[in-house]
Amino acid sequence: MMQIALFGNPNIGKTSLFNQLTGSYEYVGNWSGVTVEEKIGLLKNKQAKLVDLPGTYSLNPLSRDERVVTEFLLRNHFTSIINIVDASQLQRNLHLTIELLEFGKPLMIGLNMIDVAKSRGIEINIQNLSNKLGVAIQPIIARTGKGCNQLLEKITYEEKLPQEPFRLDYGVIIETGIIKLVDLLYECPIELPSKRWLAIQFYSGNDTVKTYLERLLNHALLLELLAETEKELLETTGQTLQDAIFEKREQFIRTVLNDSIVITHEVRQSLTDKIDRFATNKYLGMPIFLTLLYFMFMITFNWIGSPLSDALDSFLSGPFTNWLENILNKFGTSAFLFNLILDGIVPGVGGVLVFVPQIFILFFFISVLEDSGYMARISLVMDRIMQSIGLNGKAFIPMVIGFGCNVPGIMSARTIEQPKERLITILLTPLMSCSARLPVYALFAGVFFGKNQALVVLSLYTMGVVLALVLAKLFSKTMLKSEASVFVIELPPYRVPHLGTLAKSTWDKGKGFIKKAGTFIFGGTVVIWLLSVVGRSGFNVTMDDSLLAELGGFLAPVFAPLGFGSWQAAVALLTGFLAKESVVSTLNIVYHTSSTAFLQGVVADSYTPLSAYSFLVFILLYIPCLATVATIKKETGSMKWTIFSMVYPFIIAYVISFIIFQGGNLLGL
């Protein structure tokens, strides 16, 4: 099957176009780096596969995100390219187009946001632009889908896209260098369409291409070629290779645009300008962000989320359980199955599902932040603080997303250019209190802290953030002090989030939680329940003689100095590694309770406020969940750092919980 790849700058509607062309429910966001891995969809007409790549300004990669794109070009087989181009930012967008044209595969341009361009007073003569570049251009509006069907038709059915070989002359010195390198490459087994492209990328300083070439050619020879060409260029023109290549392209684009665009009128102040006068205001920027964050959490946890969760809980433990009991009785279910379902699965899985409303509300807000364009402003506003701990404002975004779930948070760290800053961000994101930890807080805070519930939960969130900041400082000063921190960020225009898109992205983020409840948590509760009824003496033993109690009892002494040395707590912590929310499921089973209200009663007898708080702090910090650990392994590619990411939180959790519990005892709390 034909495979078409989709390239384009970040924030210009690439993922929207992908959704329009494939009709699939891909996730769209309005800040760089939402497309974290290439995604593949089937075109609506089922004629070809479409690969969605991360947004990139250039094929010379600066971040891990962009490297994915260049490596895709070097290693993957595909038939043709769709290059989405922002009509309102042609000058900048066409740099990428030139690089793609030089690559030599059939290419078609989807000229997006022609409506935005028009409103900014830019009139584009598409025929002229198409002639000058030698490619087919289809004007589209990716958000509404206008023109997308024509694009689809053209890319799949026009056998040979009308395209002449593209060639931009870079001047005698660079051209000589290109010819020398291309000659050397003739003896190499390269399947790429253009050796010239490799040479140009090499001279413009593309490290990924350089690494690729080093496996084919002698390292010293390559360096010599580069040094020779750079030296000659500097002596003759005073320019570096990067500048010279950039300028040639810039000149070419300018002549192309001279003939194909007309500025009809000057723009007035845009809506984005008006909003940014407040959102990125010198003095108001930070207070506005903090206020938004406050409302976001209040709505999620207090105003809307909690009442919904409570209603769901009383439904599940009341009418639903009664109904299920009747059904099971009617069918004469065996006592074993009856108990497994009513004492194991219902409280276990139900105890977690109860939090679905809160988690979806939180994910909804995170989607709004992403889709509206405000996320990039958060980076800007937070940069000064992040700078003081050796990171940059972009590192704050994985942390905000981490409040929803650590896994996408860690993946979004890919937009951070400096490897050191990216690694530190990955290591610290798990300290952000993800939504799966919330059920545990809600349970304990509800029992012990009554009116101060929200305050206690807030203190945990804050503790996670503060620890992350302190540790970032520590890590960047000690283990990882090599590169200087840098920060450049594009602030995309604001747009009103599209309700359909929000619904999709909220669902895409939240469905994992429901899926986990049906798989991990379901399986886990069955195992835990079985272990709780089987003992050395056989089946149907009392809970305290069960294998589970024995296992927990073995581990419990470790946690005794922290105030929660019961076997139940130890078992809950063990299952919490699989998924944090399963701590609640496990407690539901080991205390043989069927409703949250009941569990609260038992918990009230087994903990004191002090030991409960110590337990919550421990839950917050002790270890990233299994899925997060797997993501850290994948993203860092290092076993060493993965193990580190599991060990250091445990030590910190132990020390802090110890201080809280023992210190509190000394103070007589």
Is there binding between residue 640 and another protein (CB under 8 A)?
no
Report if residue 489 touches another protein, rule: CB under 8 A. yes
Of the pair 88, 406, the CB lying nearest another protein is at: 88
User: How far is 131 from 153, CA to CA, in rounded Å?
Assistant: 20
Those residues with Cβ within 8 angstroms of residue 60's Cβ, 6 or more apart along the chain or in another chain: 70, 201, 204, 205, 206, 207
Q: Judged by CB under 8 A, which of 20, 32, 58, 453 binds another protein?
A: 58
Closer residue to another protein in complex, CB, 379/568: 379
- Rounded distance, CA 95 to CA 8, Å? 10
Q: Which stretch binds another protein (CB under 8 A): 465-473, 489-497, 543-551, 633-641?
A: 489-497
Minimum distance from CB of 253 to another protein (Å)? 10
Q: Cα–Cα distance between 16 and 147 in angstroms, integer? A: 13
Q: Does 415 bind another protein (CB under 8 A)?
A: no
Residue 396 C-alpha from the chain's centroid: 12
Window 107 to 136, contacts with another protein (CB under 8 A): 120
In whole angstroms, the minimum distance from the beta carbon of 234 to another protein comes to: 12
Q: Where are the beta strands (DSSP E) in 76-183?
A: 80-86, 107-112, 122-124, 136-139
Question: Exposure string (b/e) for 626-637, b if CB count within 10 Å is 16 or more?
Answer: ebbbebbeebbe
SS3 108: strand
Q: How far is the CB of 205 from another protein (least distance, A)?
A: 8
Cα 153 to Cα 40, 48, 143: the distances in Å are 19, 11, 18
Provide the token pair at 280: 């990125």
Triad 139, 145, 147: Cα angle to 5°: 30
Q: How far is residue 154 from each of residues 8, 50, 74, 137, measured CA to CA in Å?
A: 19, 14, 26, 10
Residue whose CB is less far from another protein, 259 or 490: 490
Is 598 near another protein (CB under 8 A)? no
**Is 276 a residue that touches another protein (CB under 8 A)?**
yes
Q: Which stretch binds another protein (CB under 8 A): 30-38, 84-92, 527-535, 616-624?
A: 84-92
| 235 token code pair | 């002596």
Nearer to another protein, 258 or 540 (CB): 258
Nearer to another protein, 64 or 195 (CB): 64
Q: How far is the CB of 173 from another protein (least distance, A)?
A: 19
Tokens, residue 414: 């890919």
Q: In the complex, what is the shortest distance from the CB of residue 49 to another protein, in angstroms, rounded to a whole number?
A: 29
3-state secondary structure of 552: helix
Q: Which of 75, 76, 91, 127 binds another protein (CB under 8 A)?
A: 91
The span from the CA of 378 to the CA of 211, in Å, is 35
Q: Give how many residues touch another protein by CB under 8 A.
A: 42
CB of 282 to another protein, least distance (A): 6
Options 83-91, 195-203, 229-237, 511-519: segment touching another protein (CB under 8 A): 83-91
Binding of another protein by 97 (CB under 8 A): no
With CB under 8 A as the contact rule, the residue among 114, 241, 381, 632 that binds another protein is 381
What is the Cα–Cα distance from 627 to 25, expressed in whole angstroms? 23
Nearest to 625 by CA among 459, 419, 456, 402: 402
Per CB under 8 A, residues contacting another protein are: 57-58, 60, 62, 88-89, 91-92, 95, 120, 205, 242, 246-247, 250, 267, 270, 272-273, 276, 280-283, 285, 376, 379-381, 383-384, 387, 393, 417-418, 484, 486-491
